[in-house]
Amino acid sequence: MNKNIILKLFLNWNICSPLTCLCCCQGESSAIIYTFAMLVYVAILIIASLSTFQLIGTAIYIGILISLIVFTVGLFKKNLKYMIQFLYVFFIYLLLKTVIVVICILYIFNLSEPDDKKVGNMVVHYENDNSLVIGLIIVFIVIPYLVELYYYLYIGSYTKYIKKTIEKIDDEEVVDKEVVDKEMV
């Protein structure tokens, strides 16, 4: 059974295409730049969650940071084992964050419904204007979530590309070894 089942989920993007290119760099440079940007981003999230005493959030972000550091080592050494572990960890993180984003959005939309309250014989109509809150959720939750999702898809596709490249090199080495063995006989 194939241990790298998660890699089958990613697209076979051309690493140099504009869709996957960050800052118009080549595939590896783009992956390195984006990974260092994510390291800084997660470090900022850790500091923010520590300052608000969010212990669960801090623990999650520290786990992501450790996984990102291991991924970075794998990125430089072309070690698939280190790279694939990050895909699993970040997938779980994105799954949790997806649930949180959906709950936040549903909560905000439920708050924006008008409230009718009966005071004596009159019906008093209250309307909650949550446009500021919706804007803040879009800026501080949805946009970072989309950036993280894009990073995950890009890194997953890049890891798949690295895996195929390593397999191709291994196949060429096997063929070269077979040719040398035949010549020795």
Domain parsing of the chain, residue ranges: 20-184
Residue 6 binned pLDDT confidence (cut-offs 50, 70, 90)? low
Residue-wise pLDDT tens digits, 40-68? 999 999 999 888 888 888 999 999 999 99
- Enter the pTM of the model: 0.75
Q: What is the mean pLDDT of residues 122-129?
A: 58
Question: So what's the pLDDT on residue 11?
Answer: 62
Place of tokens 């959906």: 102
Q: Which residues pair with 117 in a beta bridge?
A: 124
More confident residue, 17 or 156: 156
Classify 21 as helix, strand or coil: coil
Residue 87 binned pLDDT confidence (cut-offs 50, 70, 90)? very high
Question: So what's the pLDDT on residue 16?
Answer: 46
DSSP structure class, residue 93 = H
Residue 156 binned pLDDT confidence (cut-offs 50, 70, 90)? confident
Helices (H), 24-142: 27-51, 55-77, 80-111, 131-137
12: enclosing H helix or E strand: none
Question: So what's the pLDDT on residue 34?
Answer: 86
Indicate the average pLDDT of the chain: 78
Residue 177 binned pLDDT confidence (cut-offs 50, 70, 90)? low
Q: What is the mean pLDDT of residues 106-131?
A: 62
- 105-114, long-range: CB within 8 Å, 24+ apart, which pairs? 105/137, 105/142, 108/133, 108/134, 108/137
Is the pLDDT reported for residue 122 higher than 90? no
